[in-house]
Amino acid sequence: MTNQTTTHGDAALLQVNGLVKEFEIKDAALRSRTLRAVDGVDFVVRKKETFAIVGESGSGKSTIGRVLLGLAEKSSGDILFDSKPLSIKDRSQFRHIRKRLQIVFQDPVAAFDPRISIGKSLMEFLELRDDLDLRKRRQRAEHLISEVGLVPEMINRLPSQMSGGQLQRLSIARALASEPELIFLDEPTSALDVSIRGQIVNLLLERQKQHSVSYLLVAHDLRVVAVMADQVAVMYLGQFVEVSEKDQLFSHPLHPYTRGLIEAAHLDDLGLGRETDTVKLSGELSEDDAKSMGCRLAPRCPFAESKCSKPQELVELKPGQFVRCWKALSIEGVPGHK
């Protein structure tokens, strides 16, 4: 498959081509079947930038990250990290890569072993840095804790003695411990109170500047994406339906699904300068729609018509903006485009 969305220069840190991940699952009648959670996605994460993947729950976002981190094996496709193929079967390569690639999970409480002190948990990640002796590791752990706005004395506490917001700060400190080049952020704020989400977003942005790290951000909260992303892919039932620079995506969303998501997120106060009419999607995401030969959104799309039952390809409409919808591609035919 030609990787259309991966035009890049030397700045590419992670390149994903035609990634597929299938799971063998049992249906309600206990019959085995294959679920294609990720169905041929292509993207590039550039150095020091944030590539965000958005979409409703069940669209396959976390699965992409799990495959990248070696927590699940890909079914097919290529993953290049710093231009070299990434293979989880090559354990020595993977240990080396693990230093350079980290994760911040959605649920900060589940991300920490309740029996281990915060300091010990940080030190474990610092062990990936072979160049540091024990004393330096401890100093570095204290430094990382203060970098995320907490006091170094917290090093002796257990996770149960910390709040969710504090633990998410520590997850970020821990992810930064090995000085990675890429951090996978899987819904980093959605388990937190609305009141502290902004603080965590600011912290992530600051740390990115300071450490020149790239983020692969997965979220269904478009507010977080609007603030953090450089590029955005919109995912529906295993496939990207739109890929674009962030500003372009929010001011001029093209795919009916993107427009529906933006509408549902009520982002007017962010002043994103939207130029297209709103779209209301009907119903909910249903895994069964992924079996369709044609557009998977058709049962929910207000513009659906007979031509939508044909397969839809992801096509570059203008430089850097890709869309999977024949109607959006023929701009005149899409209601509400100005």
Ligand X SMILES: Nc1ncnc2c1ncn2[C@@H]1O[C@H](COP(=O)(O)OP(=O)(O)O)[C@@H](O)[C@H]1O
Among 59, 62, 244, 276, binds Mg ion (CB under 5 A): 62
Cβ 286 to ligand SF4 shortest distance, Å: 14
Q: How far apart are CA 176 and CA 183, in angstroms?
A: 8
User: Can you read off the two tokens belonging to residue 51?
Assistant: 């590539």
Close Cβ partners of 143 (under 8 Å, ≥ 6 residues apart): none
Write out the binding residues for ligand X, residues 14-73 only, by CB under 6 A.
23, 25, 35, 37, 55, 57-63
User: Which C-beta is closer to ligand SF4: that of 159 or that of 256?
Assistant: 256
Say which residue the tokens 């990115």 belong to. Answer: 208
In order of 113, 118, 171, the CA distances from 137 in angstroms are 20, 13, 17
- Give which of ligand SF4, Mg ion, ligand X, none residue 301 binds (C-beta under 5 to 8 Å, depending on kind): ligand SF4
Cβ 32 to ligand X shortest distance, Å: 12
User: Which C-beta is closer to ligand X: that of 119 or that of 260?
Assistant: 260
Helix axes 134-147, 118-126, angle to 10 degrees: 120
User: Which C-beta is closer to ligand SF4: that of 159 or that of 253?
Assistant: 253
Among 287, 302, 309, 313, binds ligand X (CB under 6 A): 287
- Residue type, position 191, single letter: A
Cβ 235 to ligand X shortest distance, Å: 7
Using DSSP, state whether 181 is helix, strand or coil: coil
User: Which C-beta is closer to ligand X: that of 25 or that of 110?
Assistant: 25
DSSP conformation class of 108: T
Asked if residue 106 binds ligand X (CB under 6 A), the reply is no
* Contact of 89 with 268, CB cutoff 8 Å: no
Cβ 1 to ligand SF4 shortest distance, Å: 20
Cβ 61 to ligand X shortest distance, Å: 4
User: Can you read off the two tokens belonging to residue 127?
Assistant: 């062990």
Task: List residues binding ligand SF4 (CB under 6 A).
Answer: 256, 295, 297-298, 301, 303-304, 308, 312, 325-327
* Contact of 73 with 88, CB cutoff 8 Å: yes
∠ CA 263-201-46 to the nearest 5 degrees? 85
Which residues contact ligand X (rule: CB under 6 A)?
Answer: 23, 25, 35, 37, 55, 57-63, 287
